Amino acid sequence: MARRGQDEYVIGATRRNPGRRNNAPISGGPRRRSRFVPELLITFAAIGWVMAIVIAGASFADDSITSGEAGQMLARVFAGALGIAALFVFLLAVAILGEERGRQEHYMLPVTLGVLIGVPEALLFLAPAGRYLPIPFVLLLLLLRPVRRLLTGILPGGGR
């Protein structure tokens, strides 16, 4: 039979080890992950999907955009590859979000920005206007938290 003063366990009873203390640092709660990277990835995925749709639609609708059958086929292959790449970027963003992936706020602004950037970007890409291609990407600044806070304060109703 075991004695109670030693580090042995008494049969049928459990006890805490009196020699250990919980010295874990106290935090202010669960640590929040940065939302910028996954939201940026979701925005790029939306840009890719919109550009893929516009380029694929243009390859079917307008013969003057691409030269001949080979150009049309290359535009469609490019649109398909862009759509698939955007899908994998989106899946990566969802994986990074982890437990927060079910929250709608992570998708609304990035997808809206993706559409607002993707449409002019695809149109500038189809029209030979290469020097203007970086201009729509200025809207990516809206993903930054300080810019969001500033706009929330300016908009009537607190941005709601």
* Residue 138: inside a domain: yes
8 exposure class (CB count in 10 Å sphere: 0-12, 13-18, 19+): exposed
Tens of pLDDT, residues 62-117: 777 666 677 788 888 989 999 999 999 999 999 998 888 888 888 888 999 999 99
Amino acid at site 141: L
Examine residue 19 and state whether it is found in any structural domain, yes or no.
no
- Which domain covers residue 128, as residue numbers? 36-159
Distance CA 134, CA 121 (A): 8
Indicate the pLDDT class of residue 22, thresholds 50, 70 and 90: low
81 in any annotated domain: yes
Residue 52: burial class (beta carbons within 10 Å; 0-12, 13-18, 19+): buried
pTM confidence score? 0.69
The predicted-structure confidence for 105-145, as pLDDT tens digits, reads as follows 888 889 999 999 999 988 888 887 778 888 888 888 888 88
- Residues 87, 53: contact at Cβ < 8 Å? no
